[in-house]
Structure 1
């Protein structure tokens, strides 16, 4: 099931006819069929309405939504979807790469559903380029999977595997379960087509587990069927039958007539191989009955053909010819060339078994004629696709030329406007320039002074932390075995490298700060025999690689929460750290369920009246300097004592507020 919801990608290429059966029926099940006249009026009214909107990303997204509403109408008319064309043109003009990737992916999938695989690959590669420009990992994975499916339909298995493997690695990196499932199942189908059945079983099993965890029953049914194919090819017929029956049960629960038909046919084929002809015939007859409820008559033709082949093997030649002729009649009536090719081939086998070699030869020649016709048609289709691709390139170049001309005009306008503003403001700048120059020079001097003070405070912070950590290691080595001490030292050395690297900078990306904080918490948890758990939550609107934060700004408050709050609890403690971005303010909240500040102070006075928290004092000084440098009130620390309804201490909450800094 690729991005676009087409289930056929789960089916093996060696079972391409069955895969096409699945695809055609699923499309009919998913979409209702409105009258052509009503669709035409609604489609073009909607198109005109959307065109009147302002040229922005909302307009592109509206084009995309409407393209899905009316794609059945344009498919029946064999016309390009104008909503997609408008979405592509507008996305190119406003440089909206995400919209461009979405539109090209939909266009490519539409071409693939019409077996125009060359054009599909071209559009999906354009989608990949746009997705990479947008730096959207999910869209990149979708595009890679789509290209993989295109190549697999063209039997270019090596290229297909390469794209699906890339999609899988990226999807695993971002934990995109949908694309992991698609890539895994597709790789399984590639292995199945390549005769690597054990590898295919491994991939299908993983895909099945993911579909079960996602409660996607259709995906479960298809993967069960795929496993049945693999075991059937390995000659493990009993195991294959078990998977076919499990797939049948799910399809029956879903009411999926096409899936039921395929399962019945597979069961009939498997029992035919086991020489259990009565049971094989029973399942093939059930497939024929189910196919009467499916609009696509190719299923009925295939059922007649399968029964004919079974009767051939049983030696019931007259009955076999009767069923094969029914398949041929449907093939001629509906133009199913593959059915005609296979039907005449089965008829040739029938006459050969009966000893009528003349009739067998005639039917063989007819089968070969339809095979040649299919190959010729495929070649003609590919040539037409190449011509269409050339037209696409020509139109793209026209759009780019128009866009380039528009950009040049806008550049000229902006240049002339800038020149006019510069000339108008020249006299004003002469008057006030001296004042601002002197003011700027004084501000720079003050800022440099504050920066030097901030660096001095930061250099105090790191030695303090290193001293405390070395003290912890010393005690840990004396109180634990050598293996645990070695593990602790390994983690500590990694943390030291991170601290030394981060301390070179006034600001570092948030993800680096959180990585060092997690490592510190792991070390403290080991040291304290895991007497507390911790959880770090980052707001969904935060890009951890772009948001900047002063290094080691959170750690002192975390350390204080552990050693003055959590270690004195009798039960297991909990430390919660949340990071949120509210406008231009970055807020970090450290919450513990420790004994509270009052009781901690009493314990501290009993143990060491002279000890003061150097780390927190230094950090408070850093925050004060940040407030001065940025000339803002959005830089402070608030400490709140948490209490229950009875007034008993339930922990402490520290709220660190900083002005937001960004990489770009």
Structure 2
């Protein structure tokens, strides 16, 4: 019964646990911290991508929207810059997952900035600015919840985008926002020099006071840690002198920048367009100071770059070159070439305008599609939430239903157990009553025979024998009365009672039979229990029905312990005439039926088989074999 209740309670606990499992899951912030601490041990892009995809499939993260967003972003980052399309797919997934979740500004700003970087890498600066502006608005709204370096990157990249699309003033303001955190950055942090590069570039175009510009330029030189930053430093310094029409100084710094680009930075992916821009600026400076002799070598370099790296240049580079050539032909009085350059310039201007319009349309279409996708995903997420809510309700309903069923089953099991216990108790009480009734049936039988013998002695005037017999009988009767109230008596008491009984019968029949009671010495007769008066009826049958007075008779009571079957074997052996050989004696004994019933009662109570057998052979005697449970003091109690 206890096992059933335990199983029921365990099943209920499992069901309720499954319904409330979300309460045991780690918090979103814990998952974010875990992911932030993960550093993939893979150097190859494919291995890093596989690492993050495997992490995305883990149950621990798959059920958390924000965690999935971060991991999707990491997958997108692993594709950058080799596969921008795949990078965009995963970063867009990351954005859709986290955009409508309340809070988590750090994650949202990171995803928007990642999308901005991808778009900027493609040259889609309007789309890049759109994403950058989103990131900036998030940082402005939640400055305390975002790490310093992430805020600086957001402001800095937005400033660069605004610079690209010609919004120099807002670019300068965004760079100043990044500069607010400059003291929080370490001395060797490359973000420091990038902030001063953006401040110097935008302040030159904004024509901020020269002291500020020189301060920014000197800071670039101070924090520069690579040839790339040195080249930018020289280019910005040249730009400053060009804006101030100090062309000789500008030429010096342009040449230093070009020298670094040609030698130490020749393998950088952005070196060809930077080289082209620098040579164009150098050519413009030569024209301004009217050193036309040196312009041919510069034009030759520009031609080489156009032939070798055509895919690195766009219409803006050719437009810049044609504008310079217009100025060059004008100053050299070559009107024919001037008109040709003007036509090319006009054509390139129209082309640039058309491309800008087309790009703007494409970017607007991309943004529109993104918004449509986000709306579709939002609707899908709402449908999923509704489905999950219904599923949760169903699970709770199922849990309650199962709980009710388990309670009903438990109640039914308890009622069945109680009913069964009550029935067993009734059967046990019935057994006890049957035993007592059987003893009351047997005791008058014995007393009747004994009193008949005593009556015979008195009638034949044998007072001494009668007194002696009466004394023995009184002892036996007193012992019997004391033990009759007990359901079980010790084997020792039963043997003593049988010894008294046999001695009485022996005296009654004038010693014409002998008897022996054999008990193994190792048998603890005081610790074993049997029903009272179990042996006596069979001994009485042997005396009354087995002997006919024609020879010396003997009765043997043999007690043996059957260890293998946990039984006690009692044999009553006589050398009488056997059963059904004395037609003169018509007395019918109930001892066999009574003993059989008593043995059946013992078997039911102690769950051990009992046995009752009679072996008889004409003229050689009878053996009654009883097998009953070994009942010790612990079982008796």
Query: TM-score over 0.5 for the alignment?
Result: no
TM class by smaller structure: 0.3 to 0.5
When normalised by structure 1's length, the TM-score is: 0.43
Rg larger in 1 or in 2? 2
When normalised by structure 2's length, the TM-score is: 0.45
